[in-house]
Homo-oligomer: A and B are copies of this chain.
Amino acid sequence: MCPLRLSPTDLERLDAYWRAANYLTVGQIYLQDNPLLREPLRAEHVKPRLLGHWGTSPGLSLIYAHLNRLIVKQADLDVLFLAGPGHGGPAIVANTYLEGTYSEVYPRIGRDVAGMRALFRQFSTPGGIPSHVGPATPGSIHEGGELGYVLSHAFGAVFDQPNLLAVAVVGDGEAETSPLEGSWKGISFLDPAHDGAVLPILHANGYKIAGPTVLGRATNEDVRSLFGGHGYDVHIVSGADPTYVHNALAETLEICLGKIRQIQRSARAQATSQVRPRWPMIVLRTPKGWTGPHEVDGVPIEGTFRSHQVPLSEVRTNPEHLAVLEAWLRSYRPEELFDDGGRLRPEIAAMAPKGGRRMSANVHANGGPRNDLDLPDYRGYALDVPRPGVIKHESTRQLGAMLRDTYRMNPVSFRLFCPDETASNRLGAVFETERRCLVAPTLDADERVSPHGRVMEVLSEHNCQGWLEGYVLTGRHGLFATYEAFALIVASMATQHAKWLEACLDLPWRAPVPS
């Protein structure tokens, strides 16, 4: 299935880019000095307190580097990147730094030795940056703390955004959470004609924090069957040999992009189809903590749960560990990656896209192109009440009429999300103008159901909330209507979202988003 496809130069540069990201990741976790390793590593170069998550990072960076290549090759590709295992914060920060976005947003972290040193020192230290992906990370709309929402955020981001491709990396541990398991069905609510696409990449590195994962241990056959049953066209890339995986992943990404374009082309050409397309997805099976120390003190690390956080401890006091760390860092051959000034060598830097095509600078991740909400005058929906107590009416019916007109006035930037209660909440007037979304054959008995519908009635409060968040964080407007009794179901999600918005207030470069 995998002919060697990359030219030797491409392969070498892609691998160099990946090594650079890995180097910067390990540097953030361990180093406070000697960032380029131009002198031998000494204990005092190492941070006194070691924090961060290594295990997921090499996989995230691998995907990131490959997406870069794809974007450069397909000049017009508009990609939003969402890291489910957002505890791999240092990997994402490393990539935004390699692309230059990080230094543009935070000029004190320059693209030179001093900047790299500052990059390393700020990570997970008081006054520095958190260890997880968050609002401070350029290009992100997805907080990396509470696991489970990455796919619903991705779907929300691409609704009414026909040219956007959201790539969502899902951890195999994260895939055990109920909100995540409930979000694969997003493709049943994704209109290939008018929405963008989501490419899920299940990063099955086999372990969560301390134990194996259900999907990590599942056979390829079961995995294919499971996601096939969800409606996906499943591509498995599996290996521990970088050359093989580079080739296989590069090829698979191109195939997937081709299929996405094919799906969109045919949906946009023909009038309407009620068959849900088989959207591609990728299952990437690579070792947890790949390229990290293979064994420490006789205990296996690479490819096991022990690489989840900081695989090497007591580095300042244990000379053997210090030597392992130095060998690990040098295995990336930093001298081939960065010049003496600490700048990424130009031929490697050329692997990344430019300007707004960089995933870290994608406009949709920062409030999107400006979309104001046009609202009808609410006074128009007041009831005519001649005398108190003479008419009996449900107030939400009037709200329904107002929402109907809001749909009309904002035909591609407003949506209602509701766990199948729109009519029973008496908001049914929206169906005078919009339909319920379901990409499936409709029957005569159905009422206002269509693959092009934009009233999002999935019986999942988690999907409603996650879609809404993704929709709103990319600059559009929405409302989540639910029975009061069930609002608590998404209390935790809503709290995370509020924290995100709050943190954005302190980041001047973040555009305001609707809330």
Residues of chain A touching chain B, judged by Cβ–Cβ distance below 8 Å, are 145-147, 173-174, 176-185, 188, 208-214, 217-218, 222-231, 300, 303-306, 420-424, 436, 438, 440-447, 449, 457-463, 485-486, 488-489, 491-492, 495
Contact = CB atoms under 8 A, between A and B. Distances in A.
Contacts of A176: 182, 185, 458-460
B182 A182 contact: yes
Nearest to A230: B226
8 contacts: A146-B486, A174-B459, A176-B458, A177-B462, A178-B179, A210-B421, A210-B424, A305-B447
Contacts of A306: 445
A231 B218 CA distance: 9
Q: Which 6 A-B pairs have the closest CB atoms?
A: A226-B229, A178-B182, A225-B229, A217-B440, A176-B459, A488-B492
Contacts of A229: 218, 222-229
A226 B214 CA distance: 15
Given A214-B438, A229-B225, A208 B420 contact: yes
Contact of A491 (B423, B445, B491): B491
Nearest to A177: B460
Contacts of A214: 185, 188, 438, 440, 458
B461 A210 contact: no
B211 A445 contact: no
A497 to B, nearest CB: 13
A272 to B, nearest CB: 16
A423 B188 contact: no
A183 to B, nearest CB: 7
Contacts of A459: 147, 173-174, 176-177, 208, 213
B491 A211 contact: no
A301 to B, nearest CB: 9
Contacts of A177: 182, 459-462
B441 A146 contact: no
A438 B212 contact: yes
Contacts of A183: 178
